Chain A
């Protein structure tokens, strides 16, 4: 259960990226989270809303894109989603593979509504 610590890191990143003038209008924080990142999305959303309740992010919502675990086989070229974490190629059984998705834990975009002042 480290989602609380993850949520605090997300808030810090948003604080650094959004200028003070735009702080009231953050609508959405978009994230990429891989299947193997060990994060429970529901927990993370809960922690994020709990720690932002009385802050400028109280109306902001997390939008999480779940990235499936995928490997690319360097022997037979197959890109496959085997069981999460298993890096043995499901086609040829080779272990010379590269993980191409599923370990992400990133903030990708912050969406702002139009400024309240309309200036």
Chain B
């Protein structure tokens, strides 16, 4: 048993080496396939991150009237924060709002002068609300509108809710996100199928060149496992080497485009690659090994019938 296994492993390595040309071709084709798969993963990461960034910039702002009491503001703040759809609530006090206004208008003398003319802080406190999904803003806005309606007519607390102003852009963004997620899934699926078929065909050709050898092995009474084993091992080796090659190829490419993606998509793909290297290694090399093993097993099956 052990002897058989050792012989299969040795035959696999020897076969890989003596058919170096065919092996090399298979490794390169698989590298291209894995590269495409890896590239799709990176593009998907870029899209997801940039969509998240855009999403995090979308919010609902509630402007309170300047003389709203702190208790009332806290009450609304807490009840909003308790909603299951809400991801975060950021509170800006009146003083902070004033400070922000000053900073923003540092070089605008007229605005600062106008502020001096007033004896009191004209700005109200605000809260910025972020929902978990863009589609949930509608519900949050509705909740706030209801709060506003319940207020006493004489002493209003909420001044403006700006959801309606953002509504159209939020809706557009929601549909773009859905479309992008759906189409990138389809693209990934198509590329995966193409990569699998190309790899399968290449390995089938590699085994086709060995069909006479397989016939001879059967003639001398080799069992099916004894014949199949070395080819399966070679398939695994193709996949493993192609995976390593792909990972090595990504590095210089990401060094090159990393700064660009950092500027445009706010994520440096090189950092992403290095930080998640273990997962990426697992996925790329794993897909390669499984693809190689599966392809060689399927390809050799037809020569082992009778």
Say whether A and B bind each other. Answer: no
Footprint of A on B, CB under 8 Å? none
